[in-house]
Amino acid sequence: MQKPLFSQIIVIIIISGIVLLGSFQGSPVVFTCKDGQVSFLSDAPLEMIKASSKNLSGAINISDRSFSFLVPTKTFEGFNSSLQRTHFNEDYMESDIYPNTTFKGKIIEEVDLSQPGTYQIRAKGKMNIHGLENDRIIKCNLVVGDKKITVKATFTVFIEDHAISIPSIVNQKIAEEIKLDVSLILLPSQ
């Protein structure tokens, strides 16, 4: 009599597991990225500085349209010289003190990101650069395809908004307004 009861319990557990597993195999809710690209351009009167990072990571929750992104500051490469990169990390961005740049918030538009299509959206949130957080609204292009979301955005950042001080001796070599380009592909979280 013990064996049939034990067998019934095992069957119930297996069926419950299959039903539960099936309910989780619907559309994914969170899409993530670990290798997005962000590049910046400082176009000052005496010098143009370009650098980029392929270490932008983050996630979008498509059910509530929330997002969170991070790029380690020391991952930027492509400066005019290694000395310029050193000055960027040590003198201006103070990367040892403020190692990451982040942007967290929510998509303003009531779009259904589970449906394929191209969406012009505004991402509203807190951008933290150089340890100083500011409210930002950034226009983005999202393309929702089969099991991926592609994001592209171009926007500017004013260095004074993030307390980045530039010595007067080099103020003609570093722009007050920095142009950023972001490009990433998010895949279903596993």
Is the pTM higher than 0.85? no
CB within 8 Å of 164: residues ≥ 6 apart: 92, 93, 129, 130
Q: What is the pLDDT of residue 22?
A: 35
Q: What is the pLDDT of residue 26?
A: 54
Say which DSSP state 91 is in.
I
Q: What is the pLDDT of residue 27?
A: 61
CA 25 from centroid of its chain's CA atoms: 25
Please tell me the distance from the alpha carbon of residue 50 to that of residue 39, in angstroms, as a whole number.
Answer: 7
Q: What is the pLDDT of residue 11?
A: 38
CB within 8 Å of 22: residues ≥ 6 apart: none
- 42: which 2 tokens? 């400082």
Residue by residue, DSSP assigns 109-126 as S---TTS-EEEEEEEEEE
Q: What is the pLDDT of residue 15?
A: 41
Say which DSSP state 77 is in.
B
Q: What is the pLDDT of residue 170?
A: 86
Task: Identify the segments of the chain with pLDDT beneath 50.
Answer: 1, 5-25
Domains, in order of start, for the chain: 28-188 (2.40.128.110)
Say which DSSP state 147 is in.
T
